[in-house]
Copies of this chain bind each other. A is one copy, B any other.
Amino acid sequence: MGTAALFHTYMTKSRLEAFSDGVLAIIITIMVLELRPPEDGYTLHSLLELLPTFLSYVLSFIYVGIYWNNHHHMFHMVDKINGAVLWKNLNLLFWLSLFPFTTAWMDKNYTQPLPVAVYGVVLAMAAVAYLILQKELIKAGGPDCKLAQAVGADSKGKLSGILYIAGISASFISTWIGIVLYSIVAIIWFIPDKRIEKFYSDDREI
């Protein structure tokens, strides 16, 4: 590609990424607004009462971080974007934008099945939206594109799906099992993806 063509491709990808980054940045920072200073106190006790809110913030922060990282890696391997990609990206952002709501509801009711299950349902919907976006990008890039090769069998994605369903179901027995299962999915994705990493090792830069 000549410099002008590079600029054009760059601008579309860049704007899609910039908009996504903006939404993700605000989601993260809006979640922290739930962490209100205790109205009535300045004691260690009043600080410790915020612990469930703090821990759900940490979990949701890690999830948004994982999505940002994976979103970045995925688009880094992509050269062709079409109109459908823009909408499927917005679909992903829609589900991620519900994180502050489900996080706030869960941290206020972490012993109640429904808020914990709904938290998991939105996590799962975001994961589905991510897969739909990935499929569209592979469709646009063709079966031989870098992304198609990198994704491969996607055992991580399948495992996540099972864990989400297990977590949502388990919330109705014990909310702690649900929360632990959601956290395991986060840990799985936190560990760098060897499939994609190997594509970068040749470039020596992400």
Interface size class of A (residues with CB under 8 A): 35 or more
**Given known A11-B10, A37-B101, A206-B83, contact A29–B23 (CB-CB < 8 A):** yes
Q: Copy number in this complex? A: 4
A76 at the interface (CB under 8 A from B): yes
**Given known A29-B23, A205-B79, contact A6–B9 (CB-CB < 8 A):** no
Closest to A44 in B: B114
- Interchain nearest-CB distance for A15 vs B (Å): 6
**Chain B positions within 8 Å of A93 at CB level:** 28
Task: Please determine whether A205 and B76 come into contact, CB atoms closer than 8 angstroms.
Answer: no
**Given known A10-B7, A97-B32, A206-B83, contact A109–B21 (CB-CB < 8 A):** no
**Chain B positions within 8 Å of A10 at CB level:** 7, 11
- Interchain nearest-CB distance for A99 vs B (Å): 9
Interface of chain A, main secondary structure? helix
Task: Please determine whether B23 and A72 come into contact, CB atoms closer than 8 angstroms.
Answer: no
A149 at the interface (CB under 8 A from B): no
A65 at the interface (CB under 8 A from B): yes
Task: Please determine whether A205 and B8 come into contact, CB atoms closer than 8 angstroms.
Answer: yes
**Chain B positions within 8 Å of A24 at CB level:** 19, 22
Point out residues on A near B: beta carbons under 8 Å.
Answer: 1, 3-4, 6-19, 21-30, 32-33, 35-38, 42-44, 47, 58, 61, 65, 68-69, 72-73, 76, 79-84, 86-87, 90, 93-94, 97-98, 100-101, 104-105, 108-109, 112, 114-115, 118, 190, 192, 197, 200, 203-206
Q: For the A-B complex with A12-B205, A30-B33, A79-B205 known, give 11 more contacts whose Cβ atoms are closer than 8 Å.
A: A3-B6, A9-B205, A15-B17, A16-B72, A22-B24, A33-B100, A37-B109, A47-B118, A68-B90, A81-B205, A82-B205
